[in-house]
């Protein structure tokens, strides 16, 4: 693991998301009502909708374009839709957000 500090949890609105640009594309960081943080692709496999703009509910997000719902734990589309978004290891330490650089194609800068 190669944890990279990308900001603090309060930078993400509660029930909201922010985008991090990475070598593998845009990754969305979601913050749930319980202050859990998830990282996943910011691109819906259906029509490319920006998931970071979706409504976050429970541990899921709804795509703003056509209402596909994804479980943020597994990245699996829910209900009738078939598809999956990539998820990335992320953790919160002392209010700081840390993302796994290896998983997002980022070699250690150090």
Partner 1 sequence: MTQKLVIIGAGMASGRVIEHLLDADPGAYDITLFNAEPRGNYNRIMLSPVLSGEKIYEEIVTHSDDWYVERGITCRFGEHVVKIDREMKVVEGENGHVPYDKLVIATGSAPFIIPVPGHDLPGVISYRDLDDTNAMIEAAAKGGKAVVIGGGLLGLEAAAGLKERGMDVTVLHLMGHLMERQLDEAAGYLLRKDLEARGITVKTQASTKAILGEDRARAVLLESGETLGADLVVMAVGIRPETRLANDAHLDVARGIEVNAQMQTSDPDIYAVGECVEFDGHLFGLVAPLYDQAKVLADSLLGRPNVFVVKELATKLKVTGCDLFSAGDFAEGETREDIVFRDPARGIYKRLVIEDDKLMGAVMYGDTADGSWFFGLIKDGTEIEEMRETLIFGPAFQGGASADPLSAVAALPPEAEICGCNGVCKGQITSAIEGGATDLGAIRATTKASASCGTCTGLVEQLLSVTLGDGYAAPQAQPICGCTQHTHEDVRRLIKSQELKSQAAVWQELGWTTPNGCHVCRPAVNYYLLADWPLEYRDDPQSRFVNERKHANIQKDGTFSVVPRMWGGITTPDELRAIADAADKYDVPTVKVTGGQRIDLLGVRGEDLPGIWSDLNRAGLVSGHAYSKGLRTVKTCVGTDHCRFGTQDSTGLGIKLEKHLWGAWTPHKLKLAVSGCPRNCAEATCKDIGVVCVDSGYEIHVGGAAGMEIKGTEVLCKVTSEEEAVEVISAMTQIYRENARYLDRIYKWLARVGLDWVKAQIVDDLENRRALAERFALSQSVYRKDPWAEHAQNSTTRAQYAPLANLTLEAAE
Interface pattern 26-65 for partner 1 (x via CB under 8 A) = x--x---xx------------xxxx--xxxxxx-x-x-xx
Task: Write out the H or E segment, with its range, that includes residue 39.
Answer: strand 37-41
Task: Indicate the DSSP class of residue 31.
Answer: E
Which one, 6 or 72, has the nearer CB to partner 1? 6
| Contact between 89 and partner 1 per CB under 8 A | no
| Contact between 109 and partner 1 per CB under 8 A | yes
| Contact between 80 and partner 1 per CB under 8 A | yes
Is 87 in contact with 38 (CB distance < 8 Å)? Answer: yes
In the list 1, 79, 95, 110, the residue contacting partner 1 (rule: CB under 8 A) is: 79
Tokens of 107: 């070699």
Is 90 in contact with 102 (CB distance < 8 Å)? Answer: no
Question: Which residues contact partner 1 by CB under 8 A?
Answer: 4, 6-7, 11-16, 18-23, 26, 29, 33-34, 47-50, 53-58, 60, 62, 64-67, 69, 79-81, 97, 101, 104, 106, 109
């Amino acid at each position: 693991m190669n944890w990279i500090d990308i900001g603090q949890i309060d930078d993400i609105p509660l029930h909201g998301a922010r985008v991090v640009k990475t070598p593998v594309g845009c990754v969305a960081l979601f913050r749930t009502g319980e202050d859990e943080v998830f990282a996943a692709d910011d691109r819906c496999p259906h029509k490319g909708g920006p998931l970071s703009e979706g409504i976050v509910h429970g541990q899921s997000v709804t795509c703003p374009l056509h209402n596909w719902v994804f479980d943020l734990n597994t990245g699996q589309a829910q209900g009738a839709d078939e598809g999956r978004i990539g998820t990335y290891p992320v953790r919160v330490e002392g209010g700081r957000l840390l993302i796994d650089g290896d998983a997002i194609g980022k070699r250690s800068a150090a």
